[in-house]
Every structure is written in structure tokens, then in C-alpha cells.
């Protein structure tokens, strides 16, 4: 555990990937330095900002001003807010917009937004002109602690979430924690689920710290920046050791197999936000771990209790409009990216802070577990 970060004192976490290494800069007011940083990294370049309508209303003017102040000309491509923008149609519009703006290989794409924008803009950058450099400026808690770091870019398919994409690293992640001040409480809670995930997979002490300090994380200030920095350090270290998810990085998917299936079944809509699906998925993963005998049931209950304490869902029956059936969930789980030769892979746990990759999980066991959960709701 590291000492809490002081407000207004930017902290830099490096993602070590040889010649593709890059910094994560964390601190309040850092978006004001965006233009200076880009001008230093890519002199005489121009930038195309990809954002959504909600983020644009709050943060686009300041971002463009920061770029202009450093002599970086910019253009903007704005898409609708929400998971629905991670589609082929919107990807095409973004790619054509980058070409219309004559963004060249020496220029930059700036992903200004949450996880949806980071995934969409990063994927567009990976394919336009066979690869443009891009910068992540995450504006949601979920993006600051998870999706902006590590180079996973993707759009969704009718078969499931994030099934079409590429590993493509940014050259900079600029996490301005002041941008979180405009985040709706529900969105902040959803992002908090990803912070909890880090403690559950590999740092029991951090999880215990969150149990005590969650109110301060939600209130803002040093505790919030500390939680973001610890999360980024953990992810940066894992990505540095396993960039393309051939081993250890799979642990970062704790809760995501169940969560992505629930999110897809809810139509990638406001019924269930990604972070809410992750919280519910982690709760299910710990309950399934207990059912399989990997950990005591009270440990799974402790995890569920913490999510419930901050207002995150822990019961499959709490999904607005009603939960999907076991058949629907099993069909979606079968499309998970971790499936190998038709065998299911889950991230499970032997204790808090002791996640592991479970290969060849029997479909029948998962179905029986889901049927129990649905019956108990």
C-alpha cells in the first residue's frame, strides 16, 4: 500500500512495455496540461478529439482550449452517449470523420470520455491509416482505474460485448480527477466496482482499506486519488507482465464473465451499467467459488456486503425489468472471449486477494448455480 496522493500533486504511474511504454498522469486539473504534453511528444501535430454528447457539454471547451493554448489545432467528432455507440455503424462514422479531418500518421486521436469512448476511439485509431497514436483522457471513474489503461480497444457485437477489437496501447493516459466532479452518483458507484476488483484479485489489505474508507473515496479528496493510484499501479504492473492476456492479465476479468452476459441480456442499456454488471458479476463469482468449495461462504457474503453498502447490485433479481433466464445467460457466457475449445473459463477466488483462473469449468455446474441464483431472488 502506498501513501495517499495529495490533491493537486500529480502522480505518474508508468506502464512498462519497452518501446511502447507510456505514463498515466493522475491529479486534479491535469487536462489543462494536455496541450503542453502533446506538443512536447508530437511537435507540430494536430489532434482529433473523439467524445460523446454528455462529456462534450462539460469538458470539450476546456480540452480544446488547452490544446489551442499550446498551438495544437484540433477537430472534434461527437457521438451519442452510451454503450450503443460501440457499434460498426458508429465506428465507421468515427473512422470517416478522422479521414475527413485529414488526420495523418503524425497526428493524434484524443479519446475524451468514459470507457465507451476510450474503446471506440482507441479501436478507430488502431485501424485508420493502419494505426494512429492516441491519448486517453478518461472522464469516468471506471475509465480512470480500468478501461483507459492497458490498450484493450473494442466494439460490441450482437454476440456479446467487446468481441471485435484489438490490443492497441495509447501513448499517454491523462486522468484528471477533477473531471469526476461532474459524474452522476450512479456512474461513480459503477466505476467503484472496478476499484474493489483490484483488492479482491490480489490485495486483501487494499480491500480492507476500502471497507473502511469507501465513504472518503466517494466524497473525494486524498482517499479518492489514493484509490485511483493504487488501482492504476496494480493494472500497470499486470499489463507490463502480460500485455495480451495470455496468463495473469485474465485475472482482471474477475466478475466480467457473468457481468458481460448480464449486460448483454439487458441490451447494453441503462437498465444495467457496465460497473453495476461487474459488481453483480463479482458477487456471483465469489458465490460460485464458495459453491465449488474454493472459499468459505462467509467470505463471499463479505464481498456482497461491501458492494451493497455502497449501493451496488448484489442480487440477480434486482436488474430492472427482471433478470434473464439461465438459457439466455448460458448462451451469452458461451461467447465469452476466454472460452477455449468450447470450454468455459472463469476467474474465481480462494480468498479475498487470491483470485485465480479456473479453466475447463463444467457448463452444467454454471447452469445449476445460475438456476439456484434465479430461484432465490
Q: Which three cell numbers stand for residue 42?
A: 508530437
Q: Which of 256, 263, 276, 306 is catalytic?
A: 256
The residue among 332, 315, 319 whose CA lies nearest residue 273 is: 319
CA 117-119-122 angle, to 5 degrees, is 95
Q: Which of 194, 243, 263, 276 is catalytic?
A: 194
The residue among 312, 114, 310 whose CA lies nearest residue 219 is: 310
pLDDT at position 263, please?
93
- Give dist(CA 116, CA 112) in Å, integer: 10
pLDDT at position 7, please?
40
- Distances in whole angstroms, Cα of residue 95 to Cα of each of 56, 118, 199, 263: 19, 14, 37, 26
Residue 40 burial (CB count, 10 A)? 10
Based on the residue annotation, tell me whether 130 is a catalytic residue of this protein. Answer: yes
pLDDT at position 356, please?
97
The residue among 20, 70, 17 whose CA lies nearest residue 46 is: 70
Based on the residue annotation, tell me whether 86 is a catalytic residue of this protein. Answer: no
Q: Which of 59, 260, 306, 337 is catalytic?
A: 260
Q: Which three cell numbers stand for residue 173?
A: 493516459
Q: Which of 59, 233, 235, 306 is catalytic?
A: 235
Helix (H) or strand (E) holding 173: strand 172-176
Split the chain (377 residues) into runs of 10 and give each run's mean pLDDT.
51 96 96 97 97 98 98 98 96 98 97 98 98 98 97 93 95 97 95 98 98 96 93 97 93 96 92 96 98 98 98 94 94 84 90 96 95 89
Based on the residue annotation, tell me whether 152 is a catalytic residue of this protein. Answer: yes
Q: Which of 46, 249, 306, 337 is catalytic?
A: 249
pLDDT at position 5, please?
37
Based on the residue annotation, tell me whether 162 is a catalytic residue of this protein. Answer: no
Helix (H) or strand (E) holding 118: helix 115-127
- Give dist(CA 349, CA 297) in Å, integer: 12
- Give dist(CA 326, CA 236) in Å, integer: 36
- Distances in whole angstroms, Cα of residue 366 to Cα of each of 20, 34, 158, 275: 39, 46, 22, 22
- Give dist(CA 9, CA 252) in Å, integer: 28
- Give dist(CA 299, CA 123) in Å, integer: 38
Q: Which three cell numbers stand for residue 377?
A: 431472488
Q: Which residues contact 93 (CB under 8 A, 6 or more apart)?
A: 77, 79
Domains of the chain: 11-182 (3.40.50.1970), 185-376 (1.20.1090.10)
Based on the residue annotation, tell me whether 245 is a catalytic residue of this protein. Answer: yes
Based on the residue annotation, tell me whether 256 is a catalytic residue of this protein. Answer: yes
Q: Which of 64, 161, 253, 337 is catalytic?
A: 253
Q: Which of 37, 152, 226, 306 is catalytic?
A: 152
Amino acid at each position: 500500500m502506498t501513501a495517499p496522493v495529495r490533491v493537486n500533486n500529480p502522480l505518474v504511474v508508468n506502464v512498462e512495455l519497452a518501446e511502447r511504454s507510456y505514463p498515466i498522469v493522475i491529479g486534479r486539473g491535469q487536462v489543462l496540461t494536455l496541450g503542453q504534453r502533446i506538443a512536447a511528444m508530437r511537435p507540430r501535430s494536430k489532434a482529433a478529439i473523439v467524445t460523446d454528447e454528455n462529456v462534450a457539454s462539460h469538458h470539450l471547451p476546456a480540452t480544446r482550449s488547452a490544446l489551442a493554448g499550446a498551438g495544437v489545432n484540433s477537430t472534434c467528432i461527437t457521438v451519442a452517449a452510451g454503450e450503443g455507440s460501440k457499434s460498426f455503424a458508429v465506428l465507421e462514422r468515427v473512422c470517416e470523420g478522422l479521414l475527413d479531418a485529414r488526420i495523418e500518421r503524425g497526428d493524434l486521436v484524443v479519446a475524451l470520455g468514459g470507457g465507451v469512448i476510450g474503446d471506440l476511439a482507441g479501436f478507430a485509431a488502431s485501424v485508420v491509416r493502419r494505426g494512429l497514436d492516441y491519448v486517453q483522457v478518461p472522464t469516468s471513474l471506471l475509465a480512470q482505474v480500468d478501461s483507459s489503461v492497458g490498450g484493450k480497444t473494442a466494439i460490441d457485437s450482437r454476440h456479446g460485448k467487446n468481441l471485435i477489437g484489438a490490443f492497441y496501447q495509447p501513448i499517454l493516459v491523462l486522468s484528471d480527477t477533477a473531471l469526476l466532479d461532474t459524474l452522476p452518483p450512479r456512474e461513480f458507484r459503477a466505476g467503484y466496482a472496478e476499484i474493489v476488483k483490484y483488492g479482491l484479485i490480489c490485495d486483501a489489505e487494499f480491500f480492507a482499506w476500502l471497507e473502511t474508507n469507501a465513504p472518503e473515496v466517494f466524497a473525494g479528496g486524498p482517499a479518492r486519488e489514493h484509490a485511483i493510484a493504487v488501482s492504476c499501479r496494480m493494472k500497470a504492473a499486470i499489463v507490463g507482465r502480460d500485455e495480451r492476456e495470455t496468463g495473469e492479465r485474465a485475472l482482471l476479468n474477475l466478475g466480467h464473465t457473468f457481468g458481460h452476459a448480464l449486460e448483454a441480456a439487458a441490451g447494453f442499456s441503462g437498465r444495467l451499467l457496465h460497473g453495476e454488471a461487474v459488481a453483480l458479476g463479482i458477487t456471483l463469482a465469489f458465490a460460485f467459488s464458495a459453491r465449488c468449495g474454493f472459499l468459505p461462504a462467509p467470505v463471499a457474503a463479505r464481498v456482497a456486503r461491501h458492494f451493497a453498502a455502497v449501493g451496488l447490485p448484489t442480487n440477480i433479481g434486482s436488474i430492472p425489468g427482471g433478470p434473464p433466464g439461465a438459457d439466455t445467460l448460458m448462451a451469452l457466457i458461451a461467447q465469452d472471449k476466454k472460452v477455449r475449445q468450447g470450454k468455459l473459463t472463469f476467474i474465481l477466488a480462494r480468498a479475498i486477494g487470491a483470485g485465480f483462473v479456473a479453466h475447463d469449468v463444467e457448463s452444467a455446474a454454471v447452469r445449476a448455480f445460475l438456476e439456484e441464483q434465479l430461484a432465490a431472488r
